[in-house]
Chains A and B, each alone.
Chain A
């Protein structure tokens, strides 16, 4: 077939230019070929990196939001029979932070990547075990992604002192108020999630909440910490009426 095409071209009757150039026109120098291949490899590497950015910042969000919706629906349907007693199966509850404008975030046990990559927040089991909202005292310590995988804590920098952070369980609304932020700390600084987080200025045991994520955005060089203290609780009523902070 190639031979026929060549023949056609020689005869000047071909309309197809596809096979026109011979494989090595005028005997291209091997160095020119090497440079050309190297250049194409560089272009390819650039395209792959661009695709990786799209994957990290867009596609993982698509997957995580889908999964988080599914897992959230599971919990909501478990709770569908009304307030009732505390039920922590499939997730202990939902975090609502109006200042972050991210809707509700399902909270589950553990902060390993497999958990957090589902577009949810996790409470610490390691290196310092988190307190839970219904404990008499303790620090409810949470982590979630800043970018990608749902990016549930993306807007953590929008939180100001006094902003409400509401945690919803099957039977109770826990209303926390932010009282301290730490915009940058080392990832080795586990003191921020101690039961009494003295770095936030408190000395007495109490009912605290700590949000942790990475900073600056798009990297994981440091950690961003926000502390809140429980202000009040509200029993969930039949209609799951939201506390005033969420209306």
Chain B
């Protein structure tokens, strides 16, 4: 099977989705391929900070100025993905006065509104801050949902004629005569909307221009085309707290360092982060000390964190890049700027551009510059509209509604649903069918899930990132099966089960690093419920394969003896001797 497209974007993170949208809005025939679901790589694995630019105000003023400008744009065009929490740079007694002043001056140089407040005022804003806080700088930081942002970009690209293929991994880049001609991909199922149990296919996509927006994986993709892309993947851990200990972004005001930021995100708080270079972005150790260190260090800033419940931790890989021969040894010193690598100029390989570095807050600006570049290559006229045109869901809407009257929902559920859906709330939530809450932790109703499933097929993780269902404190223990059940009868029982397993496993993955205290209780309860009701402990009698008795101990001497259920002296003796062996 072979298809053609003008522009092919590889990578369904914020950059790739942003580029696909921009290209589609300018009328370019565009295809985007992503090997997992959208945000699968780095975008879905960040702390969700919408930078005011304050974090870069001393070290990288160019980035800082871009951040504040783009943050203002995103508040307008992506309002349903953004919560303007405000942010604080907090100075503790151990932190340097001089740096504080530099930070303040830097913010002002970059046109970032910044105001100094006393320790007492800071504690009025954030009562759980340590009593030791000296003073703070208040800046317009915010929180952004990278999942909704990407999904909205992809949806708008599709709306304007683009083709978006997830679970479609590039297996080869096609090069002829120093010219990239396209790629070969392998669809896990399909093509099209994902449906487990549908056989996978391969496809050859011929493209006039290929954009490598694979971030930390850009080196691997470059290698398929025979070019070197010197990306330096660097891992960082993020820990999700069960509730919001802070309602504004809290940064420690000191030069670079690990574990210096807390971002309130939806119902939770995300602690970040570390910065350690890794060889392979798909295979690196996730170590408990990283989590422990982060909670300990950030407890200096917000002591209650030491007592509070952690629901999971995850690691993300930054797509850091530095031009060859820069020779930086510490990854925290590598610039956060992005780089456009035109392989025609650089490697005499036409038809492909790589994009590396950068950060989520400026994804739109990056996409604009790359789209300009691609359009120039393709000879397409047309100007960028992404800074003015709201994303789907972010057209005019208000969260102040009478939820019971309009949607029949209790107010906190109606409010959370409306915040997530934005301008699509009426379309999705006004239903004549019963609309129970399926995920009670995050207040997600059946109508919202059905709407997401219509888009995501049987990929329940794709449904999860659209709705937040299963992302609360029970981590899917009480809702994963209820969500999966919504796939039926459109999808058969076996498909539904596979989809459930995949969601449940993904939820388990992050919890492995939070198994103490309350989350350990939660995990045990989840396991007990699922083991006893859905055979997650694989009780062999329920298995289709039959039981291999000889894999246990020798058992009673004859099969008849076992079947009659009666006592046998020799079996007895064996049981007795076993007890003795255990020494009790």
Q: Are A and B associated in one complex?
A: no
